[in-house]
Structure 1
Amino acid sequence: MFKIHTNQMDVFREREKTNFINRLVDYLLHAHPETEVKLPENQKAPLQSLPRAVLHAMVRGGVARAERYGMTWESNVTAFVVIMFIASPNFDGHPCVRRTLCRSETDPNLRLDMLWEETSDDIWDAVTTGYDASSWTLSVECNGC
């Protein structure tokens, strides 16, 4: 009888996550190549000019952040990471955004839809104004959720 051990399943899960991250990097490079990314060293660069390893690390961090909010659908995790690149890597730190992303009475995979419906242009302007490039390297916990 064939039996898969826990450590083998962990390897499969990590391989699948790496494949997803690679697909997400490819998507960003295809759909948003000119998006300007601010880096922690006060540098700005179009997404397409970033070394793939750097972009991969940024996406991996974004995926981890989305998962901390309980998101499991690839479409939602993708949208979360894209918002990080388009608006701000710390967009989830804005109090109004965080309140929506942490709503315990709502399925985590439905919270981004609520975010689109409930977030005003003024809030999105504040999110982009509050762009914190150091958020690309910091681990942000879901405090208060």
Structure 2
Amino acid sequence: MKQSTDLNLTKKACMLTLHPRQINILDQHQEQQFRVTLRKYIQQECPAYAPVSPAILTRLISFGLARARSYGFAWQSSLGQFVYLMAAVAPNFDLHPAIHSILANADLPAEKRIASLTERLPIGVWTEAADTASMIGWFLDKDGFKFDRHARILLALANALPAITAPSEALVQRALTRAEALGFLTEDSQFVFAACCLHYGENFELQAPWAKELLTPAFTSQAKTALLRVRLALDAGLWL
């Protein structure tokens, strides 16, 4: 009787054996489900993201998770909290020096760093992070603090415009120089202007009739940035 029982247990163990390919499929399914859950939570808790299509927001979340992992986060709780802060505070919240100093603190266990942010930082830090919010943060798939502004924008553009696999560094530099001359002084506004240069053409602001009407002193740089975003969304389905 015991021999028969042992044989049955052995058969069941063999049936439960997972090959590496099967394990990989299960991991991918769990990751996919995690992203879906995170997307639904963000759209529920952050009204600004409610109108964003599931496909676009899932893509943005993928970049956010990649950047969270670049800080050493591995648990879904920490990964999810990091991406939620991107939506609730600012996509580039981790570039605030005070916040980044904790996120990149190698002396602190990675999974305790998110909790340390709320325990150690005053409300003023979060306000400053929100005031300097930039959508560029969604497209930085790695810790971008160590890069200068030009390098960050170049890195983000490669992800923001999937049809352009390798943006020219020289072209982006020229675009940023012109953006600054036209009054686009923030990282966010320069990012959007450079994206327009890549999508519409390097001198789009001089050639496209709609651009000539938009880029006038009648609009503030903030309004111009918002209008360029709308134009990219309507013409190319790009959500920046």
Q: Which has the higher helix share?
A: 2
Superposed pair shares fold, TM > 0.5: yes
1:88 aligns with 2:90: yes
How much identity, in percent, do the aligned residues show? Answer: 23
Instruction: With a CA cutoff of 8 Å and minimum separation of 6, indicate the structure with the bigger relative contact order.
Output: 1
Amino acid at match of 1:129: D
The match for 2:102 is 100
Aligned CA distance change for structure 1 residues 57 and 128 (closer, same or farther; 3 Å)? same
Larger Rg: 2
- In structure 2, stretches of 5+ residues that fail to align are 1-13, 147-240
Runs of 4+ in 1 over 6 A off after TM superposition: none
Say which SS state the counterpart of residue 49 (structure 1) adopts. coil
The match for 1:13 is 27
Q: Which has the higher strand share?
A: 1
What pairs with 1:27-106 in structure 2 (closer than 5 Å)?
Answer: 27-32=41-46, 34=47, 36=48, 47-106=49-108
Q: Distance in 2 between matches of 1:58 and 1:92?
A: 16
1:24 aligns with 2:38: yes
TM-score (normalizing by structure 1): 0.80
**What value does the CA root-mean-square deviation take over the aligned residues?**
1.9
Total equivalences in the alignment: 132
Amino acid at match of 1:120: P
TM-score (normalizing by structure 2): 0.50
Aligned CA distance change for structure 1 residues 104 and 142 (closer, same or farther; 3 Å)? farther
Aligned CA distance change for structure 1 residues 136 and 142 (closer, same or farther; 3 Å)? closer
State the shift of 1:86 in Å.
1.1
Q: Distance in 2 between matches of 1:141 and 1:5?
A: 34
